[in-house]
Structures are given as structure tokens and as C-alpha cells.
A and B are shown apart, each in its own frame.
Chain A
Amino acid sequence: QQQVKQSPQSLIVQKGGISIINCAYENTAFDYFPWYQQFPGKGPALLIAIRPDVSEKKEGRFTISFNKSAKQFSLHIMDSQPGDSATYFCAASIWGQNFVFGPGTRLSVLP
């Protein structure tokens, strides 16, 4: 019940296209859902986050869509760029306690 599932495992997108990564959870006690971007050899960097009382949050080219009834949330990257090529992790937490991470999606944006 503490798992966060994430798909796809890998994603290839053309420059300028839309990248979509999906996550699903079971534990309805989760109250915070961040997305992290990680480049090889680096730590995860907070990209954008949402709370379950909001259905959508947009920051620049990045948008989180949240479906509380379906227990799903997704990251949309608009106008994808080669510099967006990285591994993306969704995560969930309860009251700021331990974050449960998805297995990650490796995104490659072709020039």
C-alpha cells in the first residue's frame, strides 16, 4: 500500500513534443506529491509538486495533473527540449515524513 507505481519506464520524445509520465498510488493518506528530475551522477532536484486538494498545477513548461478519485497523477512536459533528458521520479509523502518514490522514467528528447 506504500508503493507508488510509475510508467513508462523509458520515453523517447522529439524536440518540441509533449512528454507525459504517469504515476499511481494506493495509500489515500498521502498528502503531498512531488516530481523530481535527476541527471546522471547528481541528486534528485525538486521540479514541481502538488497537494490532493488541487487538480492541476502549472509551472512554466511543467504541469502536474492530479486525479484524486483515481489515485493517479501525471507530469506533462510541454515543448520538450534535449536538456530535459534525465530520469524523472514521482513521489508521495504523508505529513512530510518519508517520501515513497516511483521507480523512475528515463526521458530522452531527440534534437
Chain B
Amino acid sequence: DAGVTQSPTHLIKTRGQHVTLRCSPISGHKSVSWYQQVLGQGPQFIFQYYEKEERGRGNFPDRFSARQFPNYSSELNVNALLLGDSALYLCASSSTTGGGTEAFFGQGTRLTVV
């Protein structure tokens, strides 16, 4: 079975631009979460979606938005990019939500803002 797939793998954008990152969860998984990992730090939670509904939002500005589609894939959108948005963006897939739910991460999208 394929794992969590993210696209693109690398991206270079200019300050002020918009970016869309995509994620396909493991087959059968209905929950997708997004994390931002700045170099040298642990991942920071951005959003969680389950069955197309937002289940959680981290401490990120409104420039960050996301959605989940009927096939459970997801998009993360970031508007008005800042240099500080440069990071590895990770998507995590879970079969459900609830206690003890395992989360499996994709390879990430490396975003560089110049």
C-alpha cells in the first residue's frame, strides 16, 4: 500500500505569493493533519481535518487555510508568503480520531520563500 504522498516535494516562492500544497492520505484513512517543521525544530500543528470537517487549528495566522476533499485528500494554502514561512510542511494521515490513534507522516514539501 502506498503511504502518505505529498506534492510537490520542493517549491520556491517569492514573498507575497500564494502557495498550495497537496496531500493524499493512506488508503482508508479519513483524517489528515498538517504540520510545519522549521529547520532544527519539532513539527508544529497547523490543521486537522476528519471527514471533510476541520477538527483542530493550531496557532497560525489566517493566511493559512486548508480543506479536505470527498476522497479525503487535502490541500494546505498559504497566502501572502513571508520569509518565515520557509519550512518543511508535513501531512499526517490517521484512520480515525480518538485516543491512541496512530499518525503516519508523508515525506513533506520543502517550501523556500525568497
Listed in ascending order, the chain A residues whose CB lies under 8 Å from chain B are: 6, 31-32, 34, 36, 41-46, 49, 51, 89, 91, 93, 95-104
Contact = CB atoms under 8 A, between A and B. Distances in A.
Question: What does DSSP make chain B's interface, helix, strand, loop or mixed?
Answer: loop
Contacts of B56: 97-98
Q: How big is the B interface, by class?
A: 20 to 34
Contacts, number: 72
A42 B56 CA distance: 25
A97 B42 contact: no
13 contacts: A31-B99, A42-B107, A43-B90, A43-B105, A45-B105, A51-B100, A95-B99, A96-B31, A96-B94, A97-B55, A97-B97, A100-B45, A104-B40
A105 to B, nearest CB: 10
A36 B43 CA distance: 11
A25 to B, nearest CB: 13
B41 A31 contact: no
Contacts of A91: 42
A102 B100 contact: no
A96 B42 contact: no
Nearest to B4: A43
Nearest to B40: A104
A102 B31 CA distance: 22
Given A43-B105, A43-B107, A45-B105, A96 B100 contact: yes
A101 B43 contact: yes
B86 interface: no
A91 B45 CA distance: 11
